[in-house]
Chain A
Amino acid sequence: MAETAALAYSRRFFFLYDSSKVQEEEDRTREGIYYFSPEDTPVDQQELLCGQLAGVCRCVSEMSSSPVRLLRLRKSKYAVRMKDSFLWALSCVVDIPDVSVCDLLDQLIALFCFYNGPVRQSYQLYSKEDLALRWARYLCHLQGGSTELHNIFSCVRTIDSTHIDPLLLLKAALILQACQRCPLVLAGCILYRGRVVSTQMTPALTMKVMVYETQTYSQDFRVTANGLSSSVGSPSSFTATTQVFLTPTELYMLRCHPVDRACRSHCSQPPCQPSKSRFLSRTLSDTPTTDTDSSSLDCPPVSYQTMPSSPRSSLSDEPYFSPIPSRVNTPLHSNLMNQSEYFTPDSHDHGTLNGTNLCAVKESLAGLNIKQDTDASSGSETKSEGLNSDQDTQSDEIKALANGYEQSNCLDNHSDHDNQIQNEENKLDANNHVANKNGKFQGETEEEARTKSKQVEGRLKEKYEPRNTPSPHETLADTSLVPSVLYQHRVRGLVLALLVEPEFNTDPTAREEVHHSSMASLNGLEAHLRNTSPGTPGPPGPYTFAHYDCIQNTLTTNVCGRSAGPQEAFVRATKLLHSHFSHLDTLQEAIVRLGSAVYGTRSMAQETYFLQQGTPVRNSGSPDPQDSAFSLPRKARQRLLKHGVNLL
């Protein structure tokens, strides 16, 4: 018995268990199992694992008054998240660093919430089977790193920039910037064949967006399981939107992005140079602009009128615009209301009937999209079209309303409005109270502030605190997620993905503007990328290295595929050192030797690992200044320069 069970037991497990479903004696453990991977695990084994692990975790967390984070067994270990009655557990082999497996689990949960909203709510709306498909997809996406190292660092896959004309990267960045001229666009990224070409989002968000990309890339986009709301054009080029959920921090980061909104669309002047934080962007153009474009000052702040759902305004105007208070629902305040209302079928009717509450209408439309899609098991395209035309007629109405409302609101008191925004932002981030008001210093100070806060964050990072997901608690907290929309424009292997305000769906002008402004450039970029030969990788060189950029969350390495021999030794040492670095903030560099020596060095921004190949000179391991192991730092500095890694 034990042997057969142990055989199957060597696999990697992931499960989501709800202990509130198993309260009474007669309740079967399987009732509490929401998802279990691998799905072909015998049910009794699933029950055994879930029951035992949930039991001990509960016991331990009660004793320590704190949720269990990591559970180790002799042959495997589990990253654990506990929230309310939910327990997520993800297993891996013992030699994967703790920090990696914990990160992976947090990313997995964050991914699920990004596409499906709060977990409890998702399970009220959809069947276990539907959601199982999604969990499986996210799991597959996250574990599908090209090498073991990619999984250890859980990094974003990027195109190999060494084989690409830098002008193409610049072009991609410009496309993204052009899209941002539409005020409803928050941030975007451009992906090519599952790899990032350019992104304006945080690595964590980019990673989330990429799942959708790979999903639509690999499947017929007509069969949608995830709220693909519309698709136009030929299969080689189409656009689609889907509802997604952002954490308040994510949304705040996107909104406070110092893109000068004043210079956005409807503004005839040339686009201002958006001075984005370097830490958030991979675009080439993001070098900090020292000369603040005077045009940014000239741009009248009228465009605040189109600033999406300014939260305060809807709140202050509540008595006039919202006969049903519960419908007052803006992204930032959505936690005030029960989110399941987005998904109630009647919300659409209410919205259109009232016609007065702009936000409610828009969001309920967004909600409807999802509903429509899950209903559409076949012929979704026709249904989607129907929906679109429906939307179009409604959206004219909404736009009229919106314009009227917004104009009346902003013509009177700009300053008041500014203050409101500022207040809002102050509330969200007490440290970073520089608002958009003062255009002149904004870029600089914000950048400074963010750099600082980033550093502080880095230092304060808890042992097991994930490095990619902003705050797991935020994702886990059911109430705090804010609906948003992910817009995607695909041209063969190339995808432009934009996070947009929910209103984008109902604003044909905005859609058209974005579509048209990027269409030609995307086609051009795609053609160029397609014709760029992947580049024959040069001779691997007499060394192995891995360079991890902690800020951009990217990995450069010459370790490929299945590691064996010296590469295996390299990966082994890297795992240990990465784990060590993650536990000890003050550790700067290390040399470790088992057979061959591996050198690891890190700073706030990067971790680099280096192994010199070739038979090591005979040595005794006793202290010896002639020992070649100690010349590794020098060699690494020399060798890695040509890979763009500067260790000086």
Chain B
Amino acid sequence: MKCLLLANESAEVLFYWTDTEFEQRVQEQYGVSQEEGERLPAFEDSINTLFAPIIISCSTMVDRLGDNYTSFSTENNHIYVLHQFEECLYIAVNGDGDETEEDLKRKIFVMKKLTEIMFGMVTFSGALLRKELRPQDTEQRNRLWKKLRSLLETYSRLRENDQSFLVEAVERLIHPTLCEQCIEFLERRLVQQINSNMDRMGEEVLHAFILVHTKLLAFYSSRNASNLYSSDLLALIILVQDLYPSKINLDETSEMAEDSLQTLEAPTPDPSAPSRVFLESKECPMPHSMYCLPLWPGITLVLLTKIPNSHVATSVCYFLEAFVKLEKRLCEGHEGAAAMRGQPSVQEQRSRLEKLIKTWAGMDIQVSGQQNFKNKAFSRSGSGFTRDLLPSCRNMKTQLCGVYRQFFAAECMGSSQRLAPHLQERALSMVQEKLMDWKDFLLVKSKRNITMEFPGLIHFIYVDRSNGQMIAPSLNVTDRTVSELGKGPLADFIKKKVWSLVATAQRYLQKGYATLTLRDGDYFYCYFLWFENETGYKLEVIDIPSSPDDGAPVGMLTCDYYRKLLRYYSKKHQNEVVKCYELFTVHLGVIPNEYILQHCSQLARKLWEPTRIPLL
């Protein structure tokens, strides 16, 4: 019994997802009519009625006590997790014991991440996000919600079955030679060819990568591309898996298969149309077009292109940030010059803004309310930088987000903006040709990526958090092929144990504990997190700060905990490049502790090498 709901402060449902069990329960409780055609809006209404008291109480708590609910649990172990992002409230419910409070929180943060990937900076404005998530047109809304639901289900499936989504790090296929060849091919042949072609419609391929199921075979970034963060790469893999679900996961359960079939039934209306994705950069979420080209079932080529006018995003972002800062300082009670402290001079910003607005006007994009702001803030008769400026400051924020939306939202771009279909086809066939002899090998390799022989060692996961990559033996309990652990109940049992070990380790890490060993039943579990410099020299341990309970869960997909951790550690080691590693192991409990620790240390040494494979 599961549900995820997004609502705004006026208790309006912006999006919801439920499983059939939850839906049935609500219908039973509310006796919702199940008439054909009427079903959907009626159910939406009952969902709305059901959650409205909670949503309203949330706003009351925030307004009057400056606190908010984060979770409820009931005697029959139903869990409700709540999280407020700006004006948007997320509620996740589980009533079947499949998910913990942490899982639900993570789901909420992943949902947030997915909306950011899809809508970029538009998510900064509650009013615009509402428009985006809840289009007036019912059909359009149904289409969008279907897409979001499908993404959420894809994520849940990956989280449940794929180790790289368990630890939130990308898994690479370990085959250095082939990897290197592919990178070279992508660089010299593919990207170069596309980027020099006239039919690219002003787009430029920045990143290209090949996925075998969820595993990365090769990744190439062009020289003028900014870094693609692991959190984004993971989110993109969710998008790819949503478009082309791996067969591995298809024969999961009948329910899963059904879900995936639905996706298959309704393929994207236009196969050569790219998806608009907003990727993190140093400045702001930058719009990109993503092209997913299926080479063979399970093997996909992904191209990320820079779109025309994307530089506008940077300037919108610059001002948006300025207004956000100003709003914050005004809210805190700073007025006059103090309100603008820490920012370039007022006059400078003012002239920059005016210049920009003029440019936009030339592109037929209007920014209303700017005059109002200017009058209030700068004119003699106006109040200057006081609290009175807050409403127009907020209005400016919305306006800027609006500009951003007008420039970059997928539907605003027009359907003609894309790499010419023949160019896409050409790219596809080039890579197909290149990998033809390897394809079967790759599909097998993706299921038996690494084996490791240590007596008594049941499983391990090794993660390099600096580049967001992981290595682990396969645990394909549902797959027909036999993994290292075989299949059946034992493999399933071990899988559960591994999943709970990672969850536990993350919970402790959130509190600052970087070393953990557990003796649980017949097994012994270890978790280590440590730092090294580039040469592999192990750096001294530090006290990791404890994160608040209501903060983002530990991971990469959600707010990239490890990036922050690395930044924190690097402050103390400013002269060297700092790397961060994690090792999770499961041993038989009968193995003496000293052997277990020896294994772990040998394992860490051995696994250090494969992560050195160059990516670029």
A residues contacting B by CB (< 8 A) are 1-3, 5-6, 9, 48-49, 52, 55-57, 59-76, 94, 463-464, 572-573, 576, 580, 584, 586-595, 597, 618-625, 627, 629-630, 633
Contact = CB atoms under 8 A, between A and B. Distances in A.
Nearest to B522: A586
10 shortest interchain CB distances as A-B pairs: A623-B600, A620-B538, A66-B76, A622-B530, A64-B78, A6-B66, A593-B515, A621-B541, A625-B597, A623-B601
A56 B72 contact: yes
A572 B54 CA distance: 33
B53 interface: yes
Nearest to B525: A590
A56 B597 contact: no
B518 A73 contact: no
B95 interface: yes
Contacts of B54: 56, 59-60
Contact of B601 (A62, A619, A624): A624
Interface of B: 29, 50, 53-54, 57, 60-78, 80, 93, 95, 504, 508, 511-521, 526, 528-532, 538-541, 543-544, 546, 548-550, 581, 583, 593-594, 597-598, 600-601, 603-604
B66 to A, nearest CB: 4
A72 B504 CA distance: 20
A616 to B, nearest CB: 9
A3 B581 CA distance: 42
Given A5-B65, A622-B528, A624-B597, A73 B73 contact: no
B79 to A, nearest CB: 9
Q: Which label, helix, strand, loop or mixed, suits the secondary structure of the A interface?
A: mixed
Contact of A594 (B76, B544, B604): B544
Nearest to A56: B57
Contacts of A59: 50, 53-54, 57
Given A75-B67, A622-B528, A622-B604, 8 more contacts: A55-B53, A60-B80, A66-B75, A66-B76, A597-B515, A622-B601, A623-B583, A630-B597
Contacts of A2: 62-66
Given A590-B516, A595-B543, A70 B530 contact: no
A265 B508 CA distance: 58
B80 to A, nearest CB: 6
A73 B69 contact: yes
B75 A592 contact: no
B520 A584 contact: yes
A459 B179 CA distance: 51
B515 A580 contact: no
Contacts of A623: 526, 528, 583, 597, 600-601, 603-604
A28 B548 CA distance: 36
Nearest to A49: B65
B191 to A, nearest CB: 38
Contact of A620 (B71, B72, B80, B530): B530
B561 to A, nearest CB: 16
Contacts of B540: 618-620
Given A622-B528, A625-B597, A48 B74 contact: no
Nearest to A59: B53
Contacts of B514: 593-594, 621
A587 B520 contact: yes
Given A590-B516, A592-B516, A595-B543, A64 B69 contact: no
Contacts of B583: 623
A498 to B, nearest CB: 35
Contacts of B531: 620-621
Contacts of A49: 65
Contact of B530 (A64, A67, A621, A625): A621
A55 B600 CA distance: 51
B49 to A, nearest CB: 10
A72 B60 contact: no
Given A52-B60, A630-B593, A594 B511 contact: yes
Contacts of A57: 72
Contacts of A597: 515
Interface centre among B531, B541, B601 (most CB of A within 10 A): B541
B593 A589 contact: no
A69 B518 contact: no
Contacts of A629: 515
Contacts of B72: 56-57, 60, 68, 70-72
A72 B80 CA distance: 10
Interface centre among A74, A76, A580, A590 (most CB of B within 10 A): A74
B159 to A, nearest CB: 21
A64 B74 contact: yes
A633 B540 CA distance: 24
A621 B528 contact: yes
B523 to A, nearest CB: 9
A648 to B, nearest CB: 15
A10 to B, nearest CB: 10
Contacts of B538: 620, 622
B65 A594 contact: no
Given A3-B66, A72-B70, A586 B515 contact: no
Contacts of A61: 74
B99 to A, nearest CB: 14
A74 B511 contact: no
A73 B74 CA distance: 15
Contacts of A580: 504
A630 B524 CA distance: 13
B73 to A, nearest CB: 5
A5 B519 contact: no
A152 to B, nearest CB: 16
A464 B78 CA distance: 12
Contacts of A622: 528, 530, 532, 538, 581, 601, 604
A1 B60 CA distance: 12
Given A622-B530, A623-B583, A590 B75 contact: no
A104 B66 CA distance: 26
